[in-house]
Structure 1
């Protein structure tokens, strides 16, 4: 029997394979080998196979027991990840892998589209009691030598709350805040106490649904530009305004340019965000004149002329029919940049949600100063909230001084655009990957990135809020994912809408805790 396999040969072959695999596991880098920006090869260590470590997940009962967000969310939600994280995958809710599974999840490079379904309405919260705050508060951190960094903002906030005008807060972030997540709950609670309404600023076209309250329908040849898409161009061409993007209405045929966008209220979302008192459209830097019309249904409310300009311009209209459908229509020749559209109230606090998908918060200085500074002045922007970091996490390193220094430059650039602007830096949230034993565990560099962000904030005279700590610290994201109902999505990177509302609550309480201290000092 020439083809008969000798059992001893099989045993020797298997033994040889195991010896080779064991040798590879001894010398393979624990952090894996980076193949590209979104792909890394990992190999389990011998110890993780023989004696896998079972991570201890964070206890977040102090959050889930005391925080009951008003929002009741239904339906499936999906998120496009900024980056592909090796060892993680996004699956529909209810299909999450058991973190105790012995088989690690395979890497995924698939992108899932955002759900087009708007967020259901939430009940109007009662105004906050000025004399009391929730028991669970994870406070803001302030620089030791600049503990009054938020005082200019608090002064104007107090004035707005007393009916003395309007101010604006802009919440910048990566995909964690897309679809108004986190911002919506924070806005609703701020406006319940200090007044205000509307959805704030948004672009004509966006890669993801912006908010639940208003649907934007466009007509014409609109093109969107962002710094990440035009990284090789000079700063002089980077006129993005406060949304860090702009949408250009381009000629369709023979140089003639016609286009429009329609705002259609959905009747969904928080009650205050559905209010429509005033519409503002920022344009400018057009070489030819354009006509602009505001219509409600088929009724023309107003018409005006946008003159050729080499600077920022804006048109502002009161909305006489409240929460009705409105259309803004343009006609002219050449291109017309539109930097933002905003729906606001005349008084109180306006809060904008500005997601920058794929960003690490290092693109602000790529924009020319004039449109950003002028918009800040005209809109009375008094507080910027910067929430980035998840796109830094996949690049595992032992030192993030480069990120700290880069972030310092960005914060200082933003502060140079407006006198007495206040800034809060929100630290990176917890993110998980599957370890060699198949368990979800925090990326090993989360704390290093968080610390770099804190140092950058303090060096620049900004406040800092430790979201990683507020979540529960190391290995807290699996606890959020496994909560009932889930607070984190199955990719172990993003929050669910309910989890986002909880983060908005935590941020509001942290800010109000500091505001109450300011009020107390002001009284004495």
Structure 2
């Protein structure tokens, strides 16, 4: 018996070709709607009935035939189901016997296979939490990712450090999957009389973003993104939303459903509703024809009381979308359990229902918003906004969504809802279900074209001032009856139609099909663990990659039309660490491998350093990994809450004057921070380290006191841990001028306190104190003076600074100046280029050639008389100068501004929740400093890890 010469062709009603119309509560495989394109309704019900009847009989016969052939003693290659005799028979029989429409569009899996939850048991795979991302199921080989982007110009330039780190990982994944960066085709939305393009399809969106960036816009930039199940999961759009809001500021969460439109899925784009809501969707067989617009879902309380709750932290404005209808009930809005406002949903017309809206202000600090209905009420959703400029990215994903489905929306409601949002751009992301129906001969390309043409026309007519963008469907695959995986036909054809209709309709177009990798990409993604078994929906990680590609396409498009406000390259990441920090990284590596080494880091700077928030966070990361060798240096001064996180306390009792080098002429003896505390007779100073730490009796170390000795003054009374220290031995020669004295006292335990009392008849000048333990690890000194510039440190007495800094034994000097220089309208950049390297060279020499790292300014803005934020006057000059200073001095360089997100990052950090940027446009909040510190630590340790991997090779080459 010869084997068949070609694959067995399936009968029209096989499990691979589901029934034309399942029961009303079912939908197509993986969210693809079974509703066919509109046809004559006069005989549709009869056809559906006959097809459903014949489907059951045909399916039974097909199953029997397939089972018989598969179990018969014939060659394996002839079997319709070659693997049926391998493995447990029961689950395979179930997978064969149960129609695909009852299992979400794929064969029923064996019990041991994990099934990703879907939005509804019959409506497709929209994962609630994708286990593949956490379970390590991706089978592609893990490769190291670079610390900084290696491909310029792809759109990564304005991402903050945390987003950049994730983006670089996705870039590595993109390369492994052969996905592509595809530019948006802008097309033309407005042509001149001569046929040339006056305005492209994205122009309104780009104008709005430019206004946000220039701080001339006082209203949000809203995007309305309509789509199918790929949007319903919010795994693609959440990447785009997060990044746009990071670059341009967040205007809030945007549109949210009343509750999840299906029984499963993520709660991220909805409230948490009580049981009992009646839900009607445009994708249903009996959709709400004359009630709902593009929001696509109607939530009805049929007379009883229903409720839903939203997390509104950071929101100041809420707007209810509802249906105003005769004899309708009301909705009580409550904030944090307290009544806020009652909204009556009765319409003015006694016969007509229409889309309506109610806007309310939320009190500052509100955490939850609860909606409770009374009587019969139909709600469509709620929008939440911050009330400040920024990007708002609305998403509405309908399982089984198509252009035809959105055309089912009541035209007046569609128009009213869309205009109410005042979008700067509308994104249409359908096509997957159109391709599915075309691949099964259930629609034609002409019908697909007509439906997309009409949807584009409706959007353009309803919001003519908004940009619009059409996305192609992504690649998909199918399983043949023999188990073979093949690309699904239709995706490329539908993509080509969408491209043409976008061009004709004046909308931009993004080719997601090509970006994903073209035909066969779905099969590669499945093998790599990026695709669900349905071969239609990406897993969360695959969706993140698609969102990454779309976001970067948007960013590249904006970069082409937007002139940078600071025309200076400001690259992220730690630069030149591979050559400038070799000894520091070597000591850290040896410490990590077990050697009893101390690694000293001294950070000198201005208020960013003096606040301690940044250095405390960095210290915490480094000491956790490499060991804690002590708190290091603390300047003398008043009590400060900024020291509490590090368990340090200061106190001044009596008559003290705290002086700083900013207010004094050049020269003079100053502590390492540019501070000195001058006490009158009897005045007392106290500095406590490791306050309330657990006692460690075996822990030894030393406590150093930094003070000035002056001619004709008595030695101060010093107590360490309550015990009086013996008087100092007299100097060999009487002092002729003040000098710095460093007194060192051995200590035992973790917590220690030094107390200094000015003797009677004589004053005392204290510079600071330091605590270190005799344990291996990192010591990080924070040596900052608010308002200081590099020139401030240069002008302090060199011998005093050099001697104190040498006593701290730093292996690495970190210089964080530049933010104050950026605020000087008369800044002499040439002087910085000359004087700063000389200062660095001097301090490196004083500390035994310690290595160095320069940090640039944070983003700094200034507010004009009209309240508009503009760049600090010398920001561009500083950003241009400091990297060259670092390079010339042999130092590494790191840009805090780039880590914040680059251009206008301060404005976004001011508007973030929690607030990250201070209202003065210069400083950060504690949360902001901690976030920036996390970015620095991440880049520093990434460079360290890279050095560890290349060090053996480097050593071999050196030999």
**TM-score, scaled relative to structure 1:** 0.71
Q: Give the C-alpha shift of residue 220 in structure 1.
A: 7.3
- 2:255/2:395 contact within 8 Å kept: yes
Structure 2: which 5+ residue stretches go unaligned?
21-27, 29-54, 70-75, 79-99, 116-120, 135-154, 172-179, 189-195, 567-959
Counterpart mapping for 1:61-460 below 5 A: 129=157, 137-143=181-187, 148-163=200-215, 164=217, 165-205=219-259, 206-207=261-262, 211-213=266-268, 216-219=271-274, 221-229=276-284, 237-252=289-304, 258-264=305-311, 275-288=314-327, 290-310=329-349, 311-320=354-363, 322=365, 324-332=367-375, 335-346=376-387, 347-395=389-437, 396=439, 400-435=445-480, 438-460=483-505
Closer, same or farther: CA 261–131 of 1 in aligned 2, 3 Å: closer
Q: Give the C-alpha shift of residue 196 in structure 1.
A: 1.5
Q: Give the C-alpha shift of residue 198 in structure 1.
A: 3.3
- 2:222/2:421 contact within 8 Å kept: yes
Closer, same or farther: CA 168–110 of 1 in aligned 2, 3 Å: closer
Match of 1:469 among 500, 503, 514: 514
Closer, same or farther: CA 231–435 of 1 in aligned 2, 3 Å: same
SS at match of 2:212: helix
SS at match of 1:447: helix
- Give me the whole-angstrom Cα distance separating, in 2, the residues matched to 1:490 and 1:91: 13
Closer, same or farther: CA 83–428 of 1 in aligned 2, 3 Å: farther
1:367-410 residue CA offsets vs partner (Å, 9 max, x unmatched): 23333322323321121111112222333259613211221111
- Give me the whole-angstrom Cα distance separating, in 1, the residues matched to 2:333 and 2:18: 52
SS at match of 2:434: coil
Per the alignment, residue 787 of structure 2 pairs with none
Mark the structure with the bigger radius of gyration. Answer: 2
The structure with more helix, counted as a fraction of residues: 2
Structure 1: which 5+ residue stretches go unaligned?
1-14, 51-80, 97-108, 122-126, 253-257, 266-273
SS at match of 1:248: strand
Q: Give the C-alpha shift of residue 31 in structure 1.
A: 9.9
SS at match of 1:22: coil
Q: Give the C-alpha shift of residue 493 in structure 1.
A: 1.4
Q: Give the C-alpha shift of residue 175 in structure 1.
A: 1.2
- 1:405/1:456 contact within 8 Å kept: no
- Give me the whole-angstrom Cα distance separating, in 2, the residues matched to 1:409 and 1:215: 29
- Give me the whole-angstrom Cα distance separating, in 2, the residues matched to 1:199 and 1:92: 39
Per the alignment, residue 255 of structure 1 pairs with none
1:489-508 residue CA offsets vs partner (Å, 9 max, x unmatched): 22221111121111111111
1:454-510 residue CA offsets vs partner (Å, 9 max, x unmatched): 122222221111111101111111222233xx3222222111112111111111111
Q: Give the C-alpha shift of residue 420 in structure 1.
A: 2.1
- Give me the whole-angstrom Cα distance separating, in 1, the residues matched to 2:105 and 2:258: 34
Closer, same or farther: CA 131–286 of 1 in aligned 2, 3 Å: closer
Q: Give the C-alpha shift of residue 82 in structure 1.
A: 9.5
- 1:90/1:490 contact within 8 Å kept: no
1:136-184 residue CA offsets vs partner (Å, 9 max, x unmatched): 6311123377571111221122223444111211111111222312111
- Give me the whole-angstrom Cα distance separating, in 1, the residues matched to 2:460 and 2:400: 23
SS at match of 2:554: helix
For CA contacts below 8 A with separation 6 or more, give which structure has more relative contact order.
1
Q: Give the C-alpha shift of residue 320 in structure 1.
A: 2.2
- 1:261/1:328 contact within 8 Å kept: yes
Q: Give the C-alpha shift of residue 193 in structure 1.
A: 0.9
**TM-score, scaled relative to structure 2:** 0.40
- 1:93/1:489 contact within 8 Å kept: no
SS at match of 2:322: strand
- Give me the whole-angstrom Cα distance separating, in 2, the residues matched to 1:87 and 1:209: 18
Closer, same or farther: CA 214–505 of 1 in aligned 2, 3 Å: closer
Closer, same or farther: CA 151–437 of 1 in aligned 2, 3 Å: same
Closer, same or farther: CA 343–260 of 1 in aligned 2, 3 Å: same
Q: Give the C-alpha shift of residue 416 in structure 1.
A: 1.2
Q: Give the C-alpha shift of residue 115 in structure 1.
A: 5.3
- 1:88/1:433 contact within 8 Å kept: no
- 1:93/1:490 contact within 8 Å kept: no
SS at match of 2:448: helix
- Give me the whole-angstrom Cα distance separating, in 2, the residues matched to 1:160 and 1:222: 39
- 1:82/1:357 contact within 8 Å kept: no
More off after superposition, 398-407 vs 176-185: 398-407
Q: Give the C-alpha shift of residue 518 in structure 1.
A: 2.0
Q: Give the C-alpha shift of residue 338 in structure 1.
A: 1.2
